[in-house]
Structure 1
């Protein structure tokens, strides 16, 4: 009986070992987990959303390749990023991963005029979509308190942002939020995207550190293609609390939600 029990324990340990090894290889080669730490992509992505980044979407690059032999520049296999993709990339100067929406391709002229994104001198399509509503309270592990279009709002009050559906030139649509009509990046100069680089913006337009801000002031600026990690396609899990173990803060309606 002792030998049988011992053999069962050994088999269990082997099973766990191989399961962890397979999971590790799967993560290294194909997908990378990512938690949403801030509200810059609301309401597409909320603080506490958990997703897997598809590292194969654009092929391997400097920051997605698991092999030492991968090139420093260029990509191995994969497709070119498309306008409207939600992308995880390595910040060119800060060395941390960011997630934003790709709005500008190489050669594009990008500008924001009175809060409206223009691409190659043409404003994007906009359609009113009501208000985005949330409780004004500390959110997620970092306990960030949201900004509201109807401020001042006390803690526990209803925080509102104006929501619109934005349609890009290739026909892809998504929600964007507006907090103020006079934010610092509601009117920008024209940005001409260099060859081999991309321009990103957050969907929560007045609460996003993105390509509208140069790297010299801590912004994202233009992002070279070798800094792309992969595409975010679907929310797997979501929790509104400070910890995923606070099951009463889980958001089941966001489990396995497609990212548009």
Structure 2
């Protein structure tokens, strides 16, 4: 009987070690390499939709205190830093309240002059080419009841992406010229009329606040379906978005 008990205890201990090792590995992966995020708002439509679940590459830009769980104040600035590129879709900490994660597209690099005039983005005095690219209609709370015009923009880096312009004369369609300070970035949402970004309260984003580059949509649920509502998955899963690269 004692021998059987010893074997049971040994087996239990082995299981505990496997579980602990798996949790540590998951923590390392989440902290160092990739972190999952959920898209909570429509500010990046049509690129990212409410209900998209994405992986963010944390290695892409190096690490700051915001790369670590609970954001411990262990060091300042970034280590193993790499410069983000214009056009990247970036997760960052909201400068006025770093406890909040935001996701936007990087439009302006340090030293750039950024302005929006009549819905056209100008970078260093040059207009970003923009052409009509059909229409978009959301399948969730952001459904306006009508199609929204889509415009494809192409940056000087060659990165092309779709944007929405529902109201051509909205507050964000004509702005002052913003000069991006050293060590900061200018972010904009692809849903230009419905995005709190660097044109407004977000302001310039310090390099330290960057969390990582959005890289992959690994899961997506439409119609405001909660992840917990498994019985609704078959009808509301966006199959065409599964394992889709974020561009």
Using structure 1 for the length normalisation, give the TM-score: 0.84
Describe the SS at the equivalent of 1:26: helix
Counterpart check, 1:72 vs 2:82: no
Query: How far has the Cα of 1:20 moved from its partner?
Result: 1.4
Structure 2 regions of 5+ residues with no counterpart?
Answer: none
**Is 2:241 aligned against 1:250?**
no
Q: Which of 80-89 and 25-34 deviates more?
A: 25-34
Cα deviation 1:132-159 (Å, max 9, x = unaligned): 1234xxx4xxxxx3163xxxx3xxxxx3
Deviation at 1:8? 4.1
1:12 to 10, 15, 35: 15
Tell me which residue corresponds to 1:167: 154
Do the aligned partners of 1:147 and 1:179 also contact (CA within 8 Å) in 2?
no
Number of the residue aligned with 1:204 = 191
In 2, the alpha carbon distance for the partners of 1:68 and 1:6 equals 38
Of 230-239 and 246-255, the range deviating more from structure 2 = 246-255
The reply to whether residue 102 of structure 1 matches residue 106 of structure 2 is yes
Contact 1:60 1:70 in 2 (8 A): no
d(CA) in 2 for partners of 1:130 and 1:253? 18
For the aligned residue pairs, the C-alpha RMSD in angstroms reads 2.0
Deviation of residue 14 (structure 1)?
2.8
In the TM superposition, residue 59 of structure 1 has moved relative to its aligned partner by 0.7
In the alignment, the residues of structure 1 paired with residue 241 and residue 14 of structure 2 have an alpha-carbon distance, to the nearest angstrom, of 37
Match of 1:120 in 2: 124
The correspondence for 2:174, drawn from 179, 187, 201, is 187
Residues 65 and 72, structure 2, Cα contact 8 Å, conserved in 1: no
- 3-state secondary structure, aligned to 2:30: helix
Deviates more, 1:28-37 or 1:184-193: 28-37
In the alignment, is residue 63 of structure 1 matched against residue 52 of structure 2?
A: no
- Conservation of the 8 A alpha-carbon contact between 1:63 and 1:226: yes
| Separation of aligned partners in 2, 1:128 and 1:251 | 25
Tell me the secondary structure at the aligned position of residue 24 of structure 2: helix
Report the TM-score when normalising by structure 2: 0.88
* Cα distance in 2, alignment partners of residues 78 and 256 from structure 1: 27
- Contact 2:137 2:143 (C-alpha < 8 Å) held by counterparts: no
Mapped to 2, the partners of 1:206 and 1:109 lie a distance apart of 21
User: Of Structure 1 and Structure 2, which has the larger fraction of its residues in helix?
Assistant: 2
In structure 2, distance between residues paired with 1:117 and 1:174: 13
Query: What is the deviation of 1:6?
Result: 5.4
Could you say what secondary structure the match of 2:173 adopts? coil
